[in-house]
Amino acid sequence: MEKADSISVVTAVNNGGTHLREAIDSILNQSYADFEYIIVNNDSANGTKKLLDQIQDPRVNVIHLEKNVAIPSALNVGIQKARGKWIALQGANDVSHKDRLQKQFAQVVKENRNLVAVGALEKCINRETIINTAGKNEGNTYTRRGDDSNFDANANVSVKTRVEDQSQITVETPLRLEAGQLFYKNNNIFHSNQFCSLFHGYGAAFFLKEAFIKIGGYDPIFQIAYDYDLWTRLRHYGEVSRIEEVLYHYRTSNPPMDMDKNMNMNWRMNLNMNASNTQNIRNQRHKRDKGNQSNRQIKMEFIREVLLSTFKNIAELNYRNLTRKPRLLLLGTAHNQQFYRKQIEQENAYANISFQELGFHGVRKAGTLFETNEIDGVIIDSNQSEGGSVRFLKKKGLALGKSLFPVWMPEGDS
């Protein structure tokens, strides 16, 4: 099957829910029909195996794993077995637009360059939303915002809104637009800011299998940020493009995560109820607070993994010729140092990190240490860094994306 237009779609599923069949059908009903579909059943304990074994479509190849593994490991199994030249990922609860494969492959043909991956815009839908083959969705959808962790509760789409209705596609935040331009449109700018957060549609991933294999596939050390890590390495291997159109619907398991600022619809409705429902309101508040705590924990773990991936890729992609760990200086605040010590240091097996307070004396010290070969590079907190600091370090011989890396760091534990 290894030919220029061959595509393999890969899904990994563990205990698939009520939307698994919908996810599968969104692939089987694609307008581009010449593909194989590999579904990795990750040791499901419910009725997933029975559902998958009932599929009669000859394009479908089901792999049953006898032992549960992490998601990136399950995806590695499916992609390794794939015969297609190009790999398209499909989430077990998500829905692909019927023209997704056709448009992503057309982008590959159109650009005709060293293209290794094509992304697309995504729209978030909730658990109740059903998207049928006619391109309509029933239920509320939530807009996926630029930080990939917050959703706008005021961006609900009315029932039976057509997916193709461009007026319903969210206007992207300036941050997301800027990041998208860095990631997809300007190679030189990207390599100067490559370790800042990258915002693109992970679920809509469409990439060259050869590139995936050569960069080592998914790194199973990452349980949440495995896509971030993969795309950072793909972007180093070749060119990446994105279709500025919603071709993928990502299903969220909860209402919007930004509940501190935007309470969900049920909570707001309860606030308008009379005093006899006080206990119900208290129950809703307790449920909301527990959800907020869980979401904050997930967000913090995602940040931790993203930064660990950042340090890993700085070391492995820029200092691969060294026979020792690179010596890197982190220029930042005391809070940056505290966060690194608490959240990342124990797992950072990739680089030796030292610290300097970001300021006049810290920047001068960093320049001197680099000139005397006592450090190999500088990571500078992009929240605090100023143009003058970067210009000074560049005059000392540091180069953006090669020995000078602006990286976003959280303040403290939040």
Same domain, 233 and 356: no
Residue range(s) defining the domain that contains residue 221:
7-251
Asked which of 201, 222, 251 is the last residue of a domain, the reply is 251
Specify whether 388 is located in the same domain as 246: no
* DSSP β-ladder status, 136-138 and 130-131: antiparallel
| pLDDT at site 70 | 94
d(CA 364, CA 311): 23
In the chain, how many domains are there? 2
Q: Are 247 and 99 within one domain? A: yes
pLDDT at 125: 83
Output the pLDDT for position 104: 95
- Last residue of one domain, picked from the residues 227, 251, 275: 251
Contacts within 8 Å (CB) and 24+ apart, 100-103: 100/30, 100/204, 100/247, 100/248, 101/7, 101/9, 101/30, 101/31, 101/32, 101/35, 101/206, 102/30, 102/31, 102/32, 103/243, 103/245, 103/247
- Residue 179 is assigned to a structural domain of this protein: yes
- Residues 102 and 193 placed together within one structural domain of the fold: yes
Is 187:239 a contact under the CB 8 Å cutoff? Answer: yes
Q: Assess if residue 274 is contained within a domain.
A: no
Residue 259, domain member (yes or no): no
Q: What is the CATH number of the domain that holds 388?
A: 3.40.50
Q: Judge whether 352 lies within some domain.
A: yes
Please tell me the predicted confidence (pLDDT) of residue 84: 96
Residue 18 maps to a domain: yes
Is 245 within a domain? yes
For residues 87 and 185, membership in a common domain is answered with: yes
Q: CB neighbours of 58 closer than 8 A, spacing ≥ 6?
A: none
Q: Does residue 116 fall inside a structural domain? A: yes
The tokens 């023209």 sit on which residue? 99
145 and 62 part of one domain = yes
Output the pLDDT for position 156.
Answer: 29
- Residue at which a domain ends, from 221, 251, 281: 251
pLDDT at 255 (0 to 100): 39
- The whole-model pTM stands at 0.75
pLDDT in tens, the chain (414 residues): 556 679 999 999 999 988 999 999 999 999 999 999 999 999 999 999 999 999 999 999 999 999 999 999 999 999 999 999 999 999 999 999 999 999 999 998 887 678 899 989 888 887 777 665 444 444 433 333 333 332 222 222 222 223 333 333 332 333 333 444 444 444 444 444 433 334 444 678 999 999 999 999 999 999 999 999 999 999 889 988 889 899 999 887 643 333 232 323 232 333 333 434 444 544 555 555 555 667 788 888 988 999 999 999 999 999 999 999 999 999 999 999 999 999 999 999 999 999 999 999 999 999 999 999 999 999 998 876 667 899 999 999 999 999 999 998 887 555
